[in-house]
Amino acid sequence: MPTLIADNGASSTPMHALRPADWPSFRETLPPGARRFAESVQFEPKPGRHLLLPGEGGALESVVFIEDPKKSEAERAFARGGLASLLPPGAYRFEGEDGDLALVAFAWLADAYRFEAYRSKENGPRARLVVPKGANSARVERLASAIAFGRDLINTPANDLAPDGLEAAARELASKFGASFEATIGDALLDANLPMIHAVGRASATPPRLIDFSWGDEAAPKVTLIGKGVTFDTGGLNIKPDAAMLLMKKDMGGAATALAAARMIMGENLPVRLRVLVPAVENAISGASFRPGDVLRSRKGLTVEIGNTDAEGRLILADALALADVESPELMVDFATLTGAARVALGPDLPAFYATDDDFAGQVLELGVRINDPVWRLPFWAPYDEMLTSRIADVSHISSTPFAGSVTAALFLKRFVEKARIYAHFDLFAWTPTARAGRPQGGEAQVARLIFETIEHRFGASG
């Protein structure tokens, strides 16, 4: 059910976004009955609280929402959008519209998202927002739909989204926008010189594959997005404990992010030559599993000693990066639910990112704050490269120490990139553990909006 509606003159309930200091004077403007109601419920104007005010006949007359003046404009926009899941069904509009109105509308749609594919009965009607004046509702809805698409992929359990299911979703997306599509599956990966993708996924009953599609003018700047597509991660022979395995359907969150961002880029017809690569595997356990101590040969030719089979994501990304790098893209970005170290350092809500270009990194940081899709830059710290030294191979794929796990993983990936003009790596969680405004609990396509906005700012909008 759509939750944005046009202002066609129909009745809608006004919402007033106030700062705590505004409440006393606003309260005096209320009709006597509404003022008495606020007093009777002992409403305190603390940030994040809202109040439903009745009219003389008892029906809902208006809504008061208290904003936090210490928050940024983007955070306040998301807080307003969070009313979508707090208000009863009906039509609403913001009075005295100000701030980033498009972001308010986006946050409203993002907050209203529900994953209901496995419910026998859908939730009932939801609160609907009159599109704020000046907001491009069509664009907002396209961006929100792309985020919902990414969330749906992450939330879908692994029994219904194995590597072949991820391929089907990517194929449908490519077809929708007229992109060329190719999938390299099973032993064909060996013929295509993608040996590490094959090694990681060969133990599964569903063969591993590389999903590859391209869209846009071939003469336009080349932008390549790569997403880690581990549809379930047991840890392999270094098997995870049960608590660590519970959420591993989300280990394809990097792929979901790449696909969501691609949907935005194609939907807004950005002037780029887009390529999307998703190495899709299940890290399962069988007699065909790769082992700790194995030495794998990569597409790039480097030999890689396996220290732990639960660090599989960087292996499949390495082959995809080496393949994409040959084209010398203007921008190459990978997304991956890669390390617990990044989560220990930054928590679930703040993805770590790395970039080889300071100007690009600065733009990412600035836009992240502006659109409330924040990240934190960590360094490709070259002295830590020695932590990946192997005694028997060209490189070990995990560090020899317990320190700087996200940094050493990023350095491992960077070894497979030589020709891309700008390379960036995002180490994300792809999950919201506790619901917040605009971010329901569950799968989250973190940084999809951010990379879309960055590409749009960097290479221009359509037309």
182 CB-near residues (< 8 Å, 6+ apart): 212, 213
User: Would you please indicate which residues are annotated as catalytic (active-site) residues?
Assistant: 240, 314
Kind plus residue range of the DSSP H or E element containing 33: helix 32-40
Output the CA–CA distances (angstroms, integers) from residue 23 to 18, 28, 51, 64, 399, in the order listed.
Answer: 7, 9, 11, 9, 55
Q: Are 103 and 77 in contact (CB under 8 A)?
A: yes
DSSP code string of 59-117:
SEEEEEEE--TTS-HHHHHHHHHGGGGTSPSEEEEESS--S-HHHHHHHHHHHH----T
The encoded tokens of residue 455 equal 């590409």
188 CB-near residues (< 8 Å, 6+ apart): none
125 CB-near residues (< 8 Å, 6+ apart): 1, 89
Sign of CA pseudo-dihedral 354, 343, 153, 281: positive
Q: What is the dihedral of CA 201, 202, 207, 212, to 10 degrees?
A: 50
- Please give the sequence-ordered ranges of beta strands (E in DSSP) within 19-74, or none if there are none: 50-54, 60-66
DSSP code string of 165-228:
HHHHHHHHHHHHTT-EEEEEETTHHHHTT-HHHHHHHTTSSSPPEEEEEEES-TTSPEEEEEE-
Length of the chain equals: 463
